[in-house]
Amino acid sequence: MLAHNRNTVYLSVLSTDLPLWHIIESKASLYQKDQDKFHLLLNQEHSQSSASIMENKDEAIKINNPQSELLWLEISPYRVIMSMQSQENLSYRHFWEKGVYGTSRYWLNDNSAKQSGSLRLRNFTRYLKLEGQPLPTSLQIEYELWSAKLQLGSYVLHLDIDQ
């Protein structure tokens, strides 16, 4: 497995119809699994790595996340799986494939003996494009998030990988 360590990555997720925007800038390791399959692993440490901006009327509120998060992306030109494992609170896993209803699963991490519940949503991937040869440099996914027959918004995930 060929590894490229310490690449700078810029990951943004924004809603096209809601006032949500999340940006991560971090160092990551890129692993080549096959000719066109890659794993990208990044550890988001403390608040300097990310900022979420929500607009509430005319003021912007900056929310910082002080916890460590591990993001793992399995990337190919055909499908992307993104998992986030947090030491506390929320974790999630998304599956995107162009023209397919994938799943988005969210769960709360609970250290107690009782079982934690999870929330499963569907996402419909309208657009998925991976650029760069021989290593990926850019990924863009446009998708809709659904709960049963209720659309919960349209989103764009964009990833840039510096070589």
Q: What is the pLDDT of residue 133?
A: 87
Domain spans of the chain, in order of start = 2-161
Q: What is the pLDDT of residue 44?
A: 73
Burial class (CB in 10 A: 0-12, 13-18, 19+), 63: exposed
Q: What is the pLDDT of residue 108?
A: 82
**CATH superfamily of the domain spanning 2-161:** Calycin beta-barrel core domain (2.40.128.20)
Q: What is the pLDDT of residue 17?
A: 93
**Residue pLDDT, tens place only, 110-146:** 665 555 678 999 999 999 999 998 889 999 999 999 9
